[in-house]
Homo-oligomer: A and B are copies of this chain.
Amino acid sequence: MGIVERKQRQREEVRDGILRAAWALVQEEGWQSLSIRKIADAIEYSVPVIYSHFENKDAILQEFTKEGFRKLNNALDESGAQEKNPAAGLMLMAKAYWHFAFQNKEYYQLMYGLGMPTCEKVRQVPELSKFTDLLHGAVKNLITNSKNAETDSFLKFHTFWSMLHGLVSINMVERTACPDSLHELVLEDAVRGFIKNIQD
């Protein structure tokens, strides 16, 4: 008699319900305000039921992190599938990554650590504008002394800042056995590429 199978099925239905409810709540109010009690309310079960399906709240979030990487992987897989030129393929991949991030903001934020500072918060830190000036100034300086003095310096500054932050945050996560020297190589390599690209 398939009563154990039915039970298994029902268990999985509840599990799916938890994840679906969590996702709905996240879309409404963001990750920050997701709580076990809200999920329990939504699926019309008591709180401990959730703990019989997931060890803790982190385990639920990790489920979405996995799902996020699955989705990203699919997007990347499809992006450069028929493209033969490696350079063009890489560009397509970059764009696929980009579009995934912005079309799946909630996923991306979870995958790379929640609390992204919001626009309003950033604007309340005046020190940031001085920082912006500093970096932007240095980039402008490089552009002025190059062949293509008409290059959009704001665009280049943005690229430069992004590069730096990306290098830092990826390496903060990936602090494996790699020696510091390798990380420094990555930085130098990226900046050299950036400079060369400006100077032509």
Measured CB to CB, the residues of A under 8 A from B are 62, 65-66, 69-70, 72-73, 76-77, 80, 86-87, 89-91, 93-95, 97-98, 101-102, 105, 108-109, 111-119, 121-122, 124-128, 130-131, 134-135, 138-139, 141-142, 144-145, 152, 155-156, 158-176, 182, 184-197, 199
Query: How many copies altogether?
Result: 2
Interface of A is mostly: helix
Q: State whether A164 touches B97 (Cβ < 8 A).
A: yes
Give which listed residue, B86, B142, B156, contacts A141 with CB less than 8 A: B86
Contacting pair B134 A77 (CB below 8 A): yes
Q: In the complex, what residue of chain B is closest to A97 when comparing beta carbons?
A: B164
Q: In the complex, how many angstroms separate the beta carbon of A179 from the nearest chain B beta carbon? A: 13
